């Protein structure tokens, strides 16, 4: 037991250092985001007002709700901004002792993972979110007047954007699982049906039951899943240089 702990000690030290670096990065990004929180909150509210122009404003019912909501939003924005850095720290921890060609590969994967996250977040905010809000606000009428709360709405937007951004990381996670030996090259091909079913269920839950939004998320994820399989095969068959 003692020998195992001594063997893991260097890895624990490295993990702690990387976690501290991630925490500092998120704290700095969140602080900067809070300085521009009014503009960020207004940008997040725009899709709701476009979906239901008669609304005009949001409400908050507790004295501390606006302050707490802005703090939460700034933290979530900080996590989104530092997500590429978090991916880099994760990759460098799970794949130690990389060769030179593997370091280049790691940089390329981090770059693609960043683009995928940004693409998922933008896709959620500009394509899926407006349709979801239009669906939800369609229940308003003469006998039913919507009064969305500031905190709940901002949390909903931030979580939706982050969820879609993370969901678009499917190829990155698949490649990382294959490169680190967690799964075989044929694992994702053999389990395709089960993963497709999981994608449909996840998309349905993220879209809160809206069929259109479910399709808008599920179809790109199917393509990303297949892209992960293809990229994994290409990397596995690529010759290694020493």
Per-residue three-class SS string for 108-126: HHHHHHHHHHHHHHHHHHH
How crowded is residue 45: how many other Cβ atoms within 10 Å of its Cβ? 18
Q: What is the pLDDT of residue 223?
A: 85
pLDDT in tens, 170-205: 777 787 777 766 777 778 888 888 888 888 887 787
Q: Provide the H-helix boundaries in the chain.
A: 2-35, 37-51, 65-94, 100-123, 129-137, 150-167, 170-179, 187-190, 192-206, 211-237
| 141: confidence class by pLDDT, cuts 50, 70, 90 | confident
Average pLDDT over residues 57-67: 89
- For 58, which DSSP code? -
Mean pLDDT highest for which of 19-23, 54-58, 155-159? 19-23
Res 81 pLDDT > 50: yes
Tokens of 130: 């407006």
6: Cβ contacts below 8 Å, ≥ 6 apart = none
Q: Is the pLDDT of residue 129 over 50?
A: yes
Question: What is the pLDDT, as a whole number, of residue 23?
Answer: 92
Output the six-digit token pair for 40.
């960020």
Q: Is the pLDDT of residue 64 over 70?
A: yes
Cα 65 to Cα 72: distance, rounded to the nearest angstrom: 10
Average pLDDT over residues 56-61: 87
DSSP for 158-193, written as a single string:
HHHHHHHHHHTTHHHHHHHHHHTTSS-TTHHHHTHH
Is 10 a residue whose pLDDT tops 80? no
């Amino acid at each position: 037991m003692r020998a195992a702990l001594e063997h893991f000690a260097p890895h624990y030290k490295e993990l702690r250092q990387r976690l501290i670096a991630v925490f500092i990065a998120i704290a700095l990004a969140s602080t900067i985001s809070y300085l521009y929180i009014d503009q960020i909150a207004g940008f997040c509210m725009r899709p709701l007002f476009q979906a239901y122009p008669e609304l005009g404003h949001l409400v908050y019912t507790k004295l501390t709700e606006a302050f707490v909501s802005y703090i939460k939003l700034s933290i979530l924005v900080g996590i989104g901004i530092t997500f590429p850095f978090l991916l880099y720290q994760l990759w460098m921890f799970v794949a130690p002792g990389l060769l030179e060609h593997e370091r280049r590969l790691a940089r390329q994967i981090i770059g693609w993972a960043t683009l995928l996250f940004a693409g998922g977040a933008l896709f959620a905010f500009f394509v899926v979110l407006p349709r979801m809000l239009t669906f939800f606000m369609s229940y308003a009428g003469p006998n039913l007047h919507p009064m969305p709360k500031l905190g709940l709405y901002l949390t909903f937007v931030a979580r939706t954007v982050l969820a879609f951004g993370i969901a678009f990381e499917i190829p990155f996670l698949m490649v990382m699982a294959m490169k680190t030996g967690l799964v075989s090259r044929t694992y994702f091909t053999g389990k395709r049906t089960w993963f497709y079913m999981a994608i449909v269920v996840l998309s349905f839950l993220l879209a809160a039951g809206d069929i259109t939004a479910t399709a808008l998320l599920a179809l790109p994820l199917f393509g990303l899943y297949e892209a992960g399989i293809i990229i994994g095969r290409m990397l596995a068959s690529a010759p290694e240089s020493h």
